Structure 1
Amino acid sequence: MSRTVVVIGASSGIGLETARAFLGQGDRVHAAARRSIDLEGVVPHRLDFTDRDAVDAFAAEFDGVDALIVAAGTNIKERRLHELTHEGWDTVVGANLNGPFNALRAFLPALRAAHGTVVFIGSVSGAWTDRSGPAYQAAKAGLLALTRAVGFEASGEIRSTIILPGVVDTEILDNRPEPPPREVRDQMLMAEDVAAACVFAVNLPPRAFIPELTILPTALQAIGKTT
Protein backbone atom coordinates (compact mmCIF):
# COMPACT_ATOMS: atom_id res chain seq x y z
CA MET A 1 0.00 0.00 0.00
CA SER A 2 1.30 3.45 -0.92
CA ARG A 3 2.51 5.52 2.02
CA THR A 4 2.47 9.28 2.46
CA VAL A 5 6.02 10.60 2.74
CA VAL A 6 7.00 14.23 3.28
CA VAL A 7 10.57 15.29 2.46
CA ILE A 8 11.67 18.77 3.54
CA GLY A 9 14.75 20.11 1.79
CA ALA A 10 14.03 18.20 -1.41
CA SER A 11 15.34 20.61 -4.05
CA SER A 12 18.87 19.16 -4.12
CA GLY A 13 21.37 16.85 -2.45
CA ILE A 14 20.24 14.38 0.17
CA GLY A 15 16.65 15.60 0.20
CA LEU A 16 16.23 15.27 -3.55
CA GLU A 17 17.72 11.77 -3.62
CA THR A 18 15.59 10.73 -0.65
CA ALA A 19 12.43 11.92 -2.40
CA ARG A 20 13.54 10.00 -5.50
CA ALA A 21 14.16 6.83 -3.47
CA PHE A 22 10.74 6.83 -1.81
CA LEU A 23 9.08 7.67 -5.11
CA GLY A 24 10.81 4.65 -6.63
CA GLN A 25 9.12 2.45 -4.02
CA GLY A 26 5.69 3.64 -5.09
CA ASP A 27 5.13 5.98 -2.14
CA ARG A 28 3.23 9.25 -2.52
CA VAL A 29 5.94 11.84 -1.94
CA HIS A 30 5.34 15.46 -0.97
CA ALA A 31 8.59 17.31 -1.64
CA ALA A 32 9.10 20.70 0.02
CA ALA A 33 11.87 23.27 -0.37
CA ARG A 34 12.49 26.99 -0.72
CA ARG A 35 13.56 26.43 -4.33
CA SER A 36 11.82 24.68 -7.18
CA ILE A 37 12.02 20.87 -7.24
CA ASP A 38 13.01 19.16 -10.47
CA LEU A 39 11.65 15.66 -9.89
CA GLU A 40 8.73 14.30 -11.85
CA GLY A 41 6.16 12.38 -9.87
CA VAL A 42 6.38 14.16 -6.52
CA VAL A 43 3.87 16.67 -5.17
CA PRO A 44 5.98 19.86 -4.94
CA HIS A 45 5.60 22.53 -2.27
CA ARG A 46 7.44 25.82 -1.75
CA LEU A 47 8.42 26.06 1.92
CA ASP A 48 10.88 27.89 4.15
CA PHE A 49 10.94 25.67 7.22
CA THR A 50 12.38 28.44 9.38
CA ASP A 51 9.01 30.21 8.91
CA ARG A 52 6.90 28.62 11.66
CA ASP A 53 3.58 29.90 10.37
CA ALA A 54 4.32 28.52 6.90
CA VAL A 55 5.30 25.13 8.30
CA ASP A 56 2.15 24.98 10.44
CA ALA A 57 0.00 25.79 7.40
CA PHE A 58 1.76 23.14 5.32
CA ALA A 59 1.38 20.45 7.98
CA ALA A 60 -2.31 21.27 8.39
CA GLU A 61 -2.89 19.82 4.89
CA PHE A 62 -2.19 16.28 6.17
CA ASP A 63 -4.36 13.98 8.29
CA GLY A 64 -1.67 11.33 8.48
CA VAL A 65 2.00 11.07 7.48
CA ASP A 66 3.83 7.75 7.39
CA ALA A 67 7.29 9.29 7.16
CA LEU A 68 8.65 12.81 7.60
CA ILE A 69 12.22 13.30 6.37
CA VAL A 70 13.87 16.58 7.38
CA ALA A 71 16.92 17.00 5.15
CA ALA A 72 17.27 20.78 4.88
CA GLY A 73 20.27 22.52 6.44
CA THR A 74 23.08 24.95 5.78
CA ASN A 75 26.50 26.20 6.83
CA ILE A 76 28.40 29.43 6.25
CA LYS A 77 31.92 30.30 5.14
CA GLU A 78 32.66 32.48 8.18
CA ARG A 79 32.32 29.51 10.52
CA ARG A 80 35.48 29.67 12.66
CA LEU A 81 34.99 30.81 16.26
CA HIS A 82 36.84 34.09 15.73
CA GLU A 83 34.76 34.81 12.61
CA LEU A 84 31.36 33.78 13.91
CA THR A 85 28.84 36.60 14.30
CA HIS A 86 25.46 36.68 16.00
CA GLU A 87 23.86 36.74 12.56
CA GLY A 88 25.92 33.76 11.40
CA TRP A 89 25.05 31.81 14.54
CA ASP A 90 21.34 32.53 14.09
CA THR A 91 21.45 31.48 10.43
CA VAL A 92 23.13 28.14 11.11
CA VAL A 93 21.16 27.25 14.24
CA GLY A 94 17.94 28.40 12.58
CA ALA A 95 18.38 26.09 9.60
CA ASN A 96 19.88 23.09 11.38
CA LEU A 97 17.97 22.98 14.68
CA ASN A 98 15.04 25.41 14.79
CA GLY A 99 13.80 24.39 11.34
CA PRO A 100 13.72 20.67 12.18
CA PHE A 101 11.88 21.44 15.42
CA ASN A 102 9.35 23.55 13.52
CA ALA A 103 8.69 20.61 11.20
CA LEU A 104 8.47 18.07 14.01
CA ARG A 105 6.08 20.17 16.08
CA ALA A 106 3.83 20.92 13.12
CA PHE A 107 3.69 17.33 11.84
CA LEU A 108 3.47 15.58 15.21
CA PRO A 109 -0.33 15.07 15.07
CA ALA A 110 -0.14 13.63 11.53
CA LEU A 111 2.77 11.37 12.50
CA ARG A 112 0.90 10.12 15.55
CA ALA A 113 -2.23 9.46 13.50
CA ALA A 114 -0.26 7.18 11.17
CA HIS A 115 2.19 5.80 13.77
CA GLY A 116 4.79 7.26 11.45
CA THR A 117 8.54 7.78 11.46
CA VAL A 118 10.45 11.06 11.56
CA VAL A 119 13.98 10.98 10.15
CA PHE A 120 16.33 13.90 10.70
CA ILE A 121 19.50 14.33 8.65
CA GLY A 122 22.11 15.26 11.19
CA SER A 123 25.88 15.02 10.91
CA VAL A 124 28.70 13.07 12.45
CA SER A 125 29.99 16.50 13.52
CA GLY A 126 27.16 16.62 16.05
CA ALA A 127 28.90 13.85 17.96
CA TRP A 128 32.57 14.39 17.03
CA THR A 129 34.40 17.71 16.69
CA ASP A 130 35.57 18.57 13.19
CA ARG A 131 36.15 21.62 11.00
CA SER A 132 32.51 22.41 10.33
CA GLY A 133 32.48 25.21 12.90
CA PRO A 134 31.05 25.68 16.41
CA ALA A 135 27.58 26.84 15.27
CA TYR A 136 27.07 23.88 12.94
CA GLN A 137 28.40 21.39 15.48
CA ALA A 138 26.23 22.84 18.26
CA ALA A 139 23.12 22.76 16.07
CA LYS A 140 23.70 19.18 14.95
CA ALA A 141 24.44 18.09 18.52
CA GLY A 142 21.15 19.68 19.53
CA LEU A 143 19.37 17.84 16.74
CA LEU A 144 20.84 14.55 17.99
CA ALA A 145 19.55 15.33 21.48
CA LEU A 146 16.14 16.30 20.09
CA THR A 147 15.88 12.99 18.24
CA ARG A 148 16.69 11.04 21.38
CA ALA A 149 14.18 13.07 23.40
CA VAL A 150 11.43 12.40 20.84
CA GLY A 151 12.10 8.67 21.07
CA PHE A 152 11.96 8.89 24.86
CA GLU A 153 8.74 10.89 25.04
CA ALA A 154 6.80 9.48 22.10
CA SER A 155 5.93 6.27 24.04
CA GLY A 156 5.94 4.20 20.87
CA GLU A 157 3.43 6.44 19.06
CA ILE A 158 6.05 7.43 16.48
CA ARG A 159 9.58 6.36 15.62
CA SER A 160 12.40 8.92 15.72
CA THR A 161 15.64 8.40 13.80
CA ILE A 162 18.65 10.57 13.06
CA ILE A 163 21.11 9.80 10.27
CA LEU A 164 24.65 10.99 11.01
CA PRO A 165 26.57 11.16 7.73
CA GLY A 166 30.21 11.89 7.34
CA VAL A 167 31.15 14.24 4.54
CA VAL A 168 28.79 14.07 1.55
CA ASP A 169 29.43 15.45 -1.93
CA THR A 170 26.64 18.04 -2.09
CA GLU A 171 26.49 21.74 -2.86
CA ILE A 172 26.81 22.65 0.83
CA LEU A 173 30.53 21.99 0.38
CA ASP A 174 30.69 25.13 -1.76
CA ASN A 175 30.11 27.11 1.45
CA ARG A 176 33.35 25.85 2.95
CA PRO A 177 36.13 28.42 3.37
CA GLU A 178 38.12 26.26 0.93
CA PRO A 179 35.86 23.94 -1.11
CA PRO A 180 37.49 20.52 -1.54
CA PRO A 181 38.98 19.57 -4.91
CA ARG A 182 37.26 17.06 -7.18
CA GLU A 183 39.66 14.22 -6.32
CA VAL A 184 38.66 14.53 -2.65
CA ARG A 185 34.95 14.90 -3.42
CA ASP A 186 35.10 11.69 -5.43
CA GLN A 187 35.94 9.80 -2.20
CA MET A 188 33.00 11.22 -0.25
CA LEU A 189 29.58 9.76 0.36
CA MET A 190 27.01 10.38 -2.33
CA ALA A 191 23.58 11.80 -1.53
CA GLU A 192 21.95 8.54 -2.60
CA ASP A 193 23.94 6.68 0.08
CA VAL A 194 22.28 8.74 2.79
CA ALA A 195 18.92 8.42 1.05
CA ALA A 196 19.29 4.63 1.21
CA ALA A 197 19.83 4.88 4.96
CA CYS A 198 16.62 6.91 5.31
CA VAL A 199 14.64 4.35 3.34
CA PHE A 200 16.10 1.51 5.40
CA ALA A 201 15.04 3.17 8.66
CA VAL A 202 11.50 3.84 7.46
CA ASN A 203 11.07 0.38 5.92
CA LEU A 204 11.76 -1.49 9.14
CA PRO A 205 8.75 -3.33 10.59
CA PRO A 206 6.81 -1.27 13.15
CA ARG A 207 8.19 -3.32 16.06
CA ALA A 208 11.73 -2.00 15.42
CA PHE A 209 13.39 1.36 14.96
CA ILE A 210 16.86 2.89 14.64
CA PRO A 211 17.52 5.76 17.07
CA GLU A 212 20.64 6.85 15.22
CA LEU A 213 22.69 5.60 12.29
CA THR A 214 26.21 6.78 11.44
CA ILE A 215 27.33 6.41 7.82
CA LEU A 216 30.85 7.34 6.71
CA PRO A 217 32.84 7.35 3.47
CA THR A 218 35.05 4.28 3.53
CA ALA A 219 38.22 5.80 2.12
CA LEU A 220 38.09 9.26 3.59
CA GLN A 221 36.85 9.66 7.13
CA ALA A 222 36.99 7.81 10.39
CA ILE A 223 35.14 8.77 13.56
CA GLY A 224 36.82 11.75 15.15
CA LYS A 225 39.27 12.34 12.32
CA THR A 226 38.71 14.16 9.05
CA THR A 227 41.35 14.44 6.32
Structure 2
Amino acid sequence: MKKTAYITGGSKGIGLGIAEALLKEGVSVAITARTQNDLVETEKHLKTIGDAEVLIIKSDVRNLADEEKAIQQVVDKWGGLDFCIANAGVGRFSPIDEMSAEDWNSVIDINLTGVFNTVKAAIPALKKSKGYIFTISSLAGTNFFENGAAYNASKFGVVGFSQAIMLDLRPYDIKVTTIMPGSVATYFNGHTPTDADAWKIQPEDIGQMVVDLIRMNPRTLPSKVEVRPSVPPSARK
Protein backbone atom coordinates (compact mmCIF):
# COMPACT_ATOMS: atom_id res chain seq x y z
CA MET A 1 0.00 0.00 0.00
CA LYS A 2 2.22 2.87 -1.28
CA LYS A 3 0.30 5.65 0.44
CA THR A 4 0.83 8.44 2.97
CA ALA A 5 -1.04 9.32 6.14
CA TYR A 6 -1.23 12.27 8.52
CA ILE A 7 -2.32 11.58 12.11
CA THR A 8 -2.89 14.23 14.76
CA GLY A 9 -2.29 13.21 18.35
CA GLY A 10 -0.22 10.34 17.03
CA SER A 11 2.34 9.96 19.81
CA LYS A 12 0.16 7.70 21.99
CA GLY A 13 -3.23 6.07 22.40
CA ILE A 14 -5.57 5.69 19.44
CA GLY A 15 -3.38 7.81 17.16
CA LEU A 16 -0.38 5.61 17.86
CA GLY A 17 -2.44 2.46 17.32
CA ILE A 18 -3.52 3.75 13.90
CA ALA A 19 0.05 4.75 13.01
CA GLU A 20 1.33 1.26 13.87
CA ALA A 21 -1.37 -0.45 11.82
CA LEU A 22 -0.76 1.74 8.76
CA LEU A 23 3.01 1.29 8.91
CA LYS A 24 2.52 -2.49 8.90
CA GLU A 25 0.60 -2.00 5.65
CA GLY A 26 3.45 -0.05 4.08
CA VAL A 27 1.89 3.40 4.50
CA SER A 28 4.31 6.24 5.23
CA VAL A 29 3.05 8.00 8.34
CA ALA A 30 3.38 11.54 9.71
CA ILE A 31 2.33 12.03 13.32
CA THR A 32 1.84 15.24 15.26
CA ALA A 33 1.74 16.25 18.89
CA ARG A 34 2.26 19.42 20.87
CA THR A 35 5.26 18.01 22.79
CA GLN A 36 8.49 17.38 20.93
CA ASN A 37 9.81 14.89 23.50
CA ASP A 38 6.75 12.66 23.04
CA LEU A 39 7.24 12.74 19.28
CA VAL A 40 10.94 11.82 19.46
CA GLU A 41 10.31 8.80 21.69
CA THR A 42 7.41 7.63 19.55
CA GLU A 43 9.45 8.02 16.36
CA LYS A 44 12.05 5.59 17.71
CA HIS A 45 9.35 3.01 18.29
CA LEU A 46 7.58 3.52 14.97
CA LYS A 47 10.79 3.18 12.98
CA THR A 48 11.01 -0.44 14.17
CA ILE A 49 7.73 -1.23 12.38
CA GLY A 50 7.84 -2.20 8.71
CA ASP A 51 9.77 -0.43 5.96
CA ALA A 52 7.63 2.68 5.45
CA GLU A 53 8.88 6.12 6.45
CA VAL A 54 7.95 8.05 9.58
CA LEU A 55 7.79 11.83 9.92
CA ILE A 56 7.25 13.67 13.21
CA ILE A 57 5.82 17.19 13.26
CA LYS A 58 5.19 19.44 16.23
CA SER A 59 1.80 21.08 15.63
CA ASP A 60 -1.08 22.46 17.64
CA VAL A 61 -4.43 21.56 16.10
CA ARG A 62 -5.95 24.70 17.64
CA ASN A 63 -3.97 26.73 15.13
CA LEU A 64 -4.97 26.48 11.46
CA ALA A 65 -1.62 27.88 10.32
CA ASP A 66 0.18 25.12 12.25
CA GLU A 67 -1.90 22.46 10.52
CA GLU A 68 -1.39 24.01 7.10
CA LYS A 69 2.39 24.02 7.62
CA ALA A 70 2.30 20.43 8.87
CA ILE A 71 0.33 19.18 5.88
CA GLN A 72 2.70 21.04 3.57
CA GLN A 73 5.63 19.22 5.17
CA VAL A 74 3.96 15.90 4.34
CA VAL A 75 3.32 16.94 0.73
CA ASP A 76 6.85 18.30 0.35
CA LYS A 77 8.37 15.07 1.68
CA TRP A 78 6.20 12.46 -0.02
CA GLY A 79 4.53 14.30 -2.88
CA GLY A 80 0.99 14.04 -1.61
CA LEU A 81 -1.41 12.91 1.10
CA ASP A 82 -3.83 9.98 0.99
CA PHE A 83 -5.21 9.56 4.52
CA CYS A 84 -5.95 12.24 7.10
CA ILE A 85 -6.78 11.06 10.62
CA ALA A 86 -8.06 13.86 12.88
CA ASN A 87 -7.55 12.19 16.24
CA ALA A 88 -6.18 14.74 18.73
CA GLY A 89 -8.46 15.20 21.73
CA VAL A 90 -8.72 16.02 25.43
CA GLY A 91 -11.24 15.51 28.20
CA ARG A 92 -12.31 17.90 30.95
CA PHE A 93 -15.19 16.68 33.10
CA SER A 94 -17.17 18.62 35.69
CA PRO A 95 -20.73 19.82 36.37
CA ILE A 96 -21.62 22.86 34.33
CA ASP A 97 -21.89 25.09 37.41
CA GLU A 98 -18.31 24.22 38.30
CA MET A 99 -16.83 24.19 34.81
CA SER A 100 -14.40 26.98 34.03
CA ALA A 101 -14.43 28.88 30.78
CA GLU A 102 -10.83 27.75 30.30
CA ASP A 103 -11.80 24.07 30.44
CA TRP A 104 -14.74 24.61 28.10
CA ASN A 105 -12.60 26.46 25.57
CA SER A 106 -9.80 23.89 25.77
CA VAL A 107 -12.13 20.97 24.98
CA ILE A 108 -14.00 22.73 22.17
CA ASP A 109 -10.85 24.23 20.65
CA ILE A 110 -8.96 20.93 20.53
CA ASN A 111 -11.73 18.36 20.01
CA LEU A 112 -13.93 20.26 17.56
CA THR A 113 -12.17 23.31 16.12
CA GLY A 114 -8.99 21.24 15.95
CA VAL A 115 -10.75 18.70 13.73
CA PHE A 116 -11.92 21.52 11.47
CA ASN A 117 -8.39 22.92 11.24
CA THR A 118 -6.85 19.56 10.38
CA VAL A 119 -9.46 18.71 7.77
CA LYS A 120 -9.45 22.21 6.27
CA ALA A 121 -5.67 22.12 5.88
CA ALA A 122 -5.72 18.65 4.29
CA ILE A 123 -8.48 19.14 1.71
CA PRO A 124 -6.35 20.56 -1.16
CA ALA A 125 -3.98 17.57 -1.02
CA LEU A 126 -6.83 15.08 -0.58
CA LYS A 127 -8.65 16.44 -3.62
CA LYS A 128 -5.61 15.54 -5.70
CA SER A 129 -5.31 12.03 -4.26
CA LYS A 130 -9.04 11.31 -3.90
CA GLY A 131 -8.16 10.57 -0.32
CA TYR A 132 -9.85 9.46 2.88
CA ILE A 133 -10.59 11.45 6.06
CA PHE A 134 -11.10 9.72 9.41
CA THR A 135 -12.33 11.73 12.37
CA ILE A 136 -12.17 10.16 15.81
CA SER A 137 -15.27 10.99 17.79
CA SER A 138 -16.67 8.86 20.63
CA LEU A 139 -19.81 7.13 21.82
CA ALA A 140 -20.04 10.37 23.83
CA GLY A 141 -21.00 11.88 20.48
CA THR A 142 -24.38 10.19 20.71
CA ASN A 143 -24.75 9.38 24.44
CA PHE A 144 -24.72 12.26 26.90
CA PHE A 145 -23.73 11.91 30.56
CA GLU A 146 -23.35 13.93 33.75
CA ASN A 147 -20.26 16.14 33.97
CA GLY A 148 -19.80 15.80 30.22
CA ALA A 149 -21.16 19.12 28.90
CA ALA A 150 -17.96 20.18 27.15
CA TYR A 151 -16.89 16.71 26.04
CA ASN A 152 -20.37 15.75 24.82
CA ALA A 153 -20.71 19.03 22.96
CA SER A 154 -17.36 18.53 21.24
CA LYS A 155 -17.99 14.92 20.25
CA PHE A 156 -21.60 15.49 19.14
CA GLY A 157 -20.12 18.32 17.08
CA VAL A 158 -17.48 16.09 15.51
CA VAL A 159 -20.16 13.60 14.44
CA GLY A 160 -22.31 16.32 12.86
CA PHE A 161 -19.31 17.99 11.25
CA SER A 162 -18.07 14.71 9.80
CA GLN A 163 -21.42 13.71 8.33
CA ALA A 164 -21.84 17.14 6.75
CA ILE A 165 -18.38 17.23 5.18
CA MET A 166 -18.93 13.70 3.90
CA LEU A 167 -21.66 15.18 1.72
CA ASP A 168 -19.54 18.22 0.81
CA LEU A 169 -16.52 16.19 -0.28
CA ARG A 170 -17.92 13.14 -2.01
CA PRO A 171 -18.15 14.96 -5.38
CA TYR A 172 -14.33 15.00 -5.21
CA ASP A 173 -14.18 11.25 -4.41
CA ILE A 174 -12.95 12.05 -0.90
CA LYS A 175 -14.33 9.57 1.62
CA VAL A 176 -15.15 10.57 5.21
CA THR A 177 -15.71 8.23 8.14
CA THR A 178 -16.13 9.13 11.79
CA ILE A 179 -15.18 6.40 14.27
CA MET A 180 -16.96 6.50 17.62
CA PRO A 181 -15.19 4.32 20.20
CA GLY A 182 -16.42 3.53 23.67
CA SER A 183 -13.93 2.70 26.44
CA VAL A 184 -10.40 2.45 25.05
CA ALA A 185 -7.30 1.47 27.02
CA THR A 186 -5.31 4.67 26.60
CA TYR A 187 -3.67 7.43 28.66
CA PHE A 188 -6.70 9.66 28.08
CA ASN A 189 -7.53 12.08 30.91
CA GLY A 190 -4.52 11.04 33.01
CA HIS A 191 -5.37 7.32 33.03
CA THR A 192 -2.52 4.78 32.86
CA PRO A 193 -3.53 1.51 31.16
CA THR A 194 -3.04 -1.67 33.21
CA ASP A 195 -3.93 -5.35 32.92
CA ALA A 196 -7.29 -4.42 34.41
CA ASP A 197 -8.09 -2.64 31.11
CA ALA A 198 -7.93 -5.86 29.10
CA TRP A 199 -11.71 -5.79 28.58
CA LYS A 200 -11.54 -2.41 26.88
CA ILE A 201 -11.03 -1.67 23.19
CA GLN A 202 -7.29 -1.56 22.53
CA PRO A 203 -5.65 1.14 20.37
CA GLU A 204 -4.52 -1.51 17.89
CA ASP A 205 -8.17 -2.51 17.41
CA ILE A 206 -8.97 0.97 16.11
CA GLY A 207 -5.86 0.79 13.94
CA GLN A 208 -7.08 -2.46 12.41
CA MET A 209 -10.49 -0.90 11.83
CA VAL A 210 -8.94 1.97 9.87
CA VAL A 211 -7.01 -0.48 7.70
CA ASP A 212 -10.16 -2.56 7.09
CA LEU A 213 -12.14 0.54 6.11
CA ILE A 214 -9.44 1.65 3.69
CA ARG A 215 -9.50 -1.79 2.09
CA MET A 216 -13.26 -1.75 1.50
CA ASN A 217 -14.54 -1.52 -2.06
CA PRO A 218 -14.62 2.24 -2.80
CA ARG A 219 -18.27 2.04 -3.84
CA THR A 220 -19.17 1.45 -0.17
CA LEU A 221 -18.72 3.98 2.65
CA PRO A 222 -19.38 3.26 6.35
CA SER A 223 -19.74 6.95 7.19
CA LYS A 224 -20.29 6.52 10.92
CA VAL A 225 -18.97 3.56 12.91
CA GLU A 226 -19.83 2.93 16.56
CA VAL A 227 -17.47 0.55 18.35
CA ARG A 228 -17.69 -0.65 21.93
CA PRO A 229 -16.19 -3.32 24.20
CA SER A 230 -17.88 -6.66 23.56
CA VAL A 231 -18.45 -7.49 27.23
CA PRO A 232 -17.85 -4.61 29.68
CA PRO A 233 -17.76 -5.42 33.40
CA SER A 234 -21.32 -4.11 33.83
CA ALA A 235 -22.56 -6.80 31.43
CA ARG A 236 -20.89 -9.75 33.18
CA LYS A 237 -23.02 -12.07 35.33
TM (norm. structure 2) is 0.85
Q: Give the conservation status (yes or no) of the 8 Å contact 2:186–2:193.
A: no
- The count of aligned residue pairs is 218
Which of 23, 44, 49 is the equivalent residue of 2:56? 44
| Structure 2 residue aligned with 1:130 | 145
Q: Please name the residue that 2:182 is paired with.
A: 166
From 76, 80, 89, the counterpart of 1:73: 89
Report the AA paired with residue 192 of structure 1.
Answer: E
* Identical-residue share of aligned pairs (%): 28
> Per-residue deviation at 1:182?
6.0
Opposite residue 133 of structure 1, the aligned amino acid is G
- Residue 121 of structure 1 is matched in structure 2 by 136
| Structure 2 residue corresponding to 1:190, chosen from 197, 202, 217 | 202
* Counterpart among 162, 171, 190 of residue 156 in structure 1: 171
Deviates more, 1:9-18 or 1:55-64: 55-64
User: What corresponds to 1:22 in structure 2?
Assistant: 22
| SS of equivalent to 2:171 | coil
| Structure 1 runs not aligned, ≥5 long | none
| Equivalent pair of 2:6/2:71 in contact (CA under 8 Å) | no
Aligned partner letter, 1:29: V
Determine if contact 1:163/1:197 at 8 Å carries over to the other structure.
no
Q: Per the alignment, do residues 32 and 181 of structure 1 end up closer, same or farther by CA in structure 2, a change over 3 Å counting?
A: closer
Q: Is the deviation greater in 163-172 or in 193-202? A: 193-202
Equivalent of residue 67 in structure 2, options 55, 74, 94: 55
Greater shift after overlay, 119-128 or 78-87? 78-87
Q: What's the CA shift for 1:110?
A: 0.5
Pair 180,116 (structure 1): closer, same or farther in 2 beyond 3 Å: closer
Say if 1:164 and 1:213, in contact at 8 Å, map to a contact too. yes
CA apart distance, 1:188? 1.3
Tell me whether 57-66 or 155-164 shows the greater mean CA deviation: 57-66
Contact 1:161 1:210 in 2 (8 A): yes
CA contact (8 A) 2:31 2:56 kept: yes
1:65 Cα offset (Å):
1.4
Does residue 113 of structure 2 align to residue 98 of structure 1? yes
Asked if the contact 1:70/1:120 (under 8 Å) is kept, the reply is yes
Aligned AA (1:74): V
After TM superposition, give the deviation of residue 155 of structure 1 in Å. Answer: 3.2
Unpaired segments ≥5 residues, structure 2: 48-52
Decide which structure has greater helix share. 2
Given that 2:185 and 2:193 are in contact with CA atoms closer than 8 Å, whether structure 1 keeps it comes out as: no
Q: For residues 147 and 95 of structure 2, what CA distance do their matches in structure 1 show?
A: 8
Matched, 1:219 2:231: yes
Shift of 1:123: 0.2
**How far apart, in 1, do the equivalents of 2:22 and 2:83 lie?**
10
TM-aligned CA distance change 1:87 to 1:113, over 3 Å: same
Change in CA separation of 1:68 and 1:180 when aligned onto 2, cut-off 3 Å: closer
Which digits, 9 at most, give the CA deviation of each residue in 1:181-203, with x for residues without a partner? 863x3321111111112222222
Paired position in structure 2 for 1:201: 213
Q: Which of 205, 210, 218 pairs up with 2:222?
A: 210
**In the alignment, structure 1 residue 112 sits paired with structure 2 residue 124:** no
Where do 4+ consecutive residues of structure 1 move more than 4 Å? 179-182
1:32 aligned residue? 32
Aligned-residue offset at 1:90: 0.3
Alignment check: 8 A CA contact 1:74 1:95 kept: yes
